[in-house]
Amino acid sequence: MFLNSDTFLVALYTIVDDLFRAHFAPHKPLRRGAKPTLTDSEVLTIAIIAQWFGSSERALVRYAHEHWRGYFPRLLSQSATNRRARDLAGVLTQMVPLVAVYLQKELPLYQAIDGVPVPLMRVCRGRRHRLFADEAGIGKGGSDRHWYFGCELLLSVTPHGVITGFLVGPAGSEERWLADAFFSWRANPRSIPWTREDVPPSNKRTSANYVGPKGPIWPREGVGEPSPVAYIADGNFSGPVWTEHWSSDYGARVITRKCYVGESAEKLKRHLSGFRQIIETVNGHLECALHLHFPRARGRWGLMMRIAAKLVAFNLGIWLNRLLGRPSLAIPTLIDF
């Protein structure tokens, strides 16, 4: 069963407006000038629903002018809507872990973490026409391990698929550096993650090519709250020095396949791989249903707004599915434009 666009819009706006009024409106700074024609809740709703639309933001604004004038009597142009949405990028970032708190009725058994590539443009265009600074780069990613120009998105999800936190780093950065910043800021938002110089000499490669993070890792407001449960990860997060550091310094217990040895190791590894499948499902929905790849960003703030809006849209999709009695992860079949 699909929701029609009007029902979906009203339900989404109701949740977003309640969250904004309860958690963000009291802290909004006062600004001079005329009162905006669209409220912040309306701009947030348009930014989030745009992630399902799958086309350009200009096409969404045109669709809203044709079908949603009754809900938005004073719609802005595409450029003005985009400016307002970028101004609310910080709110969207904080809404990702906030919605996760509302969706978790009980403590999950574990959280799964993994990195997913976010291509921003073709490699040749990324090299010739740099629209981004060092927050984007060239690296390999995905199941096919192809080269791409863009970012690496680190996600942490519950067994039910709820995204509890995220971080973004440039493509080509090892996922351990993103995980270190993730666990560090979860334990203390003001802490400083490891750098290349902090890694013990015994763990560094013998060659001179050992490097740390290849660019900024951000935003720390998106990591969410610390969790007492274990984190399940793949081999990119393994290493006794790293796992011991995360456990002793941040209280984050990370379990990978290499943690199991002995006669029952293979059986336990298969179970671990099964537990990790949830994050592959989430990544697939983000890519196919919410169009994570090539988000049409032209700068850091636009990139942060679009990535955060997609993650909020995913969590709110779970919220609406639960309200309707549908399977939580039936994201692709939630709305019919």
299-316 pLDDT tens trace = 889 999 999 999 999 999
* Residue at 16: amino acid letter: V
Tens of pLDDT, residue by residue over 197-212, are 888 876 655 444 567 8
Instruction: Kindly report the pTM of this predicted structure.
Output: 0.93
Tell me the mean pLDDT in the region 27-35. Answer: 80
CB 114 within 8 A of CB 283: yes
Tell me the mean pLDDT in the region 174-186. Answer: 95
Tens of pLDDT, residue by residue over 37-82, are 889 999 999 999 999 887 677 888 888 888 888 888 888 888 888 8
Query: Percent of the chain scored above 90 by pLDDT?
Result: 56
Q: Contacts from 256-263 at CB under 8 Å and sequence distance 24+?
A: 256/232
The span from the CA of 82 to the CA of 87, in Å, is 9
Looking at residue 205, its pLDDT comes to 57
Q: For 122-158, list the strands marked E by DSSP.
A: 137-141, 146-157
The span from the CA of 144 to the CA of 259, in Å, is 26
CA atoms within 13 A on the CB side of 237: 28
**Position 283 pLDDT exceeds 90:** yes
CB 152 within 8 A of CB 315: no
Query: Percent of the chain scored above 70 by pLDDT?
Result: 93
Tens of pLDDT, residue by residue over 139-171, are 887 666 788 889 999 999 999 999 999 999 999
Looking at residue 207, its pLDDT comes to 46
DSSP output for 156-222: EE-TT--EEEEEEEETTS-HHHHHHHHHHHHH-TT-----GGGS-GGGS-SSTT----SS--B-GGG
The dihedral over CA atoms of 122, 123, 126, 127, expressed in degrees to the nearest 10, equals -150
CA 189 to chain centre: 18
DSSP output for 229-264: SEEE--GGG--HHHHHHHHHHH---EE-GGG--STT
Sign of dihedral through CA atoms 115, 308, 130, 193? negative
The dihedral over CA atoms of 36, 38, 42, 43, expressed in degrees to the nearest 10, equals -70
